[in-house]
């Protein structure tokens, strides 16, 4: 069983830092992990095919961060993993919405996202922090440590906030209806 000292990280299939298809920014993630001296942190890599995982391992080995990394591959229990984690590290170069950040907040998980993730993903401002991708990797690592040292929020409060958010399936039709009725 995972313990609460494990950090959840979302990564894409392509790990080449400047590749146009590398929206999740995986090489950047390993660079931040390289700067992170916080002893308790373990990044968990979820998803990706065998080729990408092998490439990811090679880069992780090159940066000497294999001891801070767990590769789980493709999973169908991400909600459970999020509930066991302390932080979603989400340095995407660009996102349409950033639904994984919404899912993380519903689990009560803190999110550290890049400025490539839209603000519309925020349910609770206390759970989501943003940094620009242009910030040095050491600044990202400091922010991770800062967030990990903060007290966790009440999970019952998170559930209530989600209940009243626009992401709740009960609220979404009303919001869309109002949007379109007011637009036309």
Model confidence over 8-42: pLDDT tens digits? 444 333 455 555 556 678 888 899 999 988 778 88
Predicted confidence (pLDDT) at residue 4 exceeds the cutoff of 60? no
The pTM is what? 0.79
* pLDDT, tens only, 43-64: 888 877 666 777 788 889 999 9
What DSSP letter does each residue of 130-184 carry, written as one string?
EE-TTS-HHHHHHHHHHHHHSPPPPHHHHHHHHHTSTTSTTTHHHHHHHHHHHH-
For 59-91, the pLDDT digits (tens) are 899 999 999 988 888 889 988 898 889 999 999
pLDDT digits (tens, 9 = 90+) for 155-184: 677 777 777 777 777 877 887 788 788 755
pLDDT at 22: 61
Which residue(s) pair with 73 in the sheet? 46
- CATH no. for 6-153: 3.40.50.2000
Residue 183's contacts (CB-CB under 8 Å, 6 or more residues apart) are: none
C-alpha 133/C-alpha 131 separation (Å) is: 6
pLDDT of residue 134: 94
Residue with tokens 């767990």: 70
pLDDT for the residue numbered 183: 59
For residues 113 and 135, is the Cβ–Cβ distance under 8 A?
no
Q: How far apart are CA 83 and CA 105, in angstroms?
A: 10
Write down the residue that tokens 């803190």 correspond to.
110
Task: Tell me which DSSP letter residue 117 carries.
Answer: S
Q: Could you read off the pLDDT of 97-143 as tens digits, one per residue? A: 889 999 898 888 999 999 999 999 998 899 999 999 999 999 999 99
**Close Cβ partners of 59 (under 8 Å, ≥ 6 residues apart):** 15, 27, 30
Q: What pLDDT is attached to residue 32?
A: 94
The pLDDT, as a whole number, for residue 17 is 55
């Amino acid at each position: 069983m995972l313990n609460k000292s494990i950090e959840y990280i979302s990564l894409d299939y392509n790990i080449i830092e400047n590749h146009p298809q590398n929206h999740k920014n995986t090489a950047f993630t390993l660079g931040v992990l390289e700067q992170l001296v916080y002893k308790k942190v373990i990044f968990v890599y979820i998803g990706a095919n065998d080729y990408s995982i092998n490439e990811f391992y090679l880069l992780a080995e090159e940066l000497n961060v294999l001891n801070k990394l767990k590769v789980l591959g493709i999973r169908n229990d991400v909600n459970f993993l999020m509930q066991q984690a302390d932080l979603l590290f989400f340095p995407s170069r660009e996102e349409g919405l950033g639904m994984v950040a919404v899912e993380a907040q519903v689990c009560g998980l803190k999110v550290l996202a890049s400025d490539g993730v839209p603000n519309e993903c925020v349910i609770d401002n206390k759970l989501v922090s943003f940094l620009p991708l242009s910030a040095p990797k050491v600044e990202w690592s400091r922010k991770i440590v800062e967030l990990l040292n903060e007290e966790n929020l009440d999970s019952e409060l998170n559930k209530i906030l989600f209940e009243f958010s626009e992401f709740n399936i009960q609220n979404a039709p009303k919001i869309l209806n109002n949007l379109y009725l007011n637009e036309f």
